[in-house]
Amino acid sequence: MENRKVYYGLMEVAGMRLYVGVSECGLMFVGSDGADIGELERWAVRKKGIDLTEGQDKIAPFARELALYLSGARREFDLPLDFAGTAFQEAVWQALLRIPYGQTRTYSDIATEIGKPEAVRAVGTAIGANPILMVIPCHRVIGKNGKITGYRGGVAMKKQLLRLESAGSALPKVAF
């Protein structure tokens, strides 16, 4: 397989530090708050054929949309996404993209929506493999009992995103 160039950079916004990766086709990766470059590098190794290249200018339009979202000034993302997973993962991620801003769904809801009501655990695994935090809004998925469950970015980050969306309150100071 020919290597695919992915440009990456670090953005800092609302007290968060996130690595972002983009290809010529769109956004491919949004990292966890405070994670080091290793999180991006491990993702690239698992994807195989990814050639990481520093490119702050390439991530700038995507960083702007993320910054606007985290400041409360944007509820939807317009820039293209470039993700690939198994057919099952992609079905789950597409279902996540349909969850409206400020709303939540359960893992069971997602399993039912994709026509696999018995696959709740597999849905959880697919959600955990989501490479594009916030934009593919896996933070909007909660436990059936209403509890906040795991999140690649950490439970604190998930709670922060849910608070942002439910209260409509802006996080302070946008800079990248």
| Cα–Cα distance list, 88 to 93, 100, 153 (Å) | 9, 21, 22
Position 176 scores a pLDDT of: 24
Closest CA to 140 of 91, 92, 102, 95: 102
**What distance lies between CA 2 and its chain's CA centroid?**
26
pLDDT tens for each residue of 96-131: 999 999 999 999 999 999 999 999 999 999 999 999
Q: Is 25 a catalytic residue?
A: no
Q: 116, 109 in Cβ contact below 8 A? A: no
Helices (H), the chain: 37-47, 56-70, 87-97, 107-113, 120-128, 155-167
Query: Of 11, 40, 138, 141, which is the active-site residue?
Result: 138
Q: How far apart are CA 109 and CA 41, in angstroms?
A: 32
pLDDT tens for each residue of 120-160: 999 999 999 999 999 999 999 999 888 898 899 899 999 99
Is the predicted pLDDT of residue 167 greater than 80, yes or no?
no
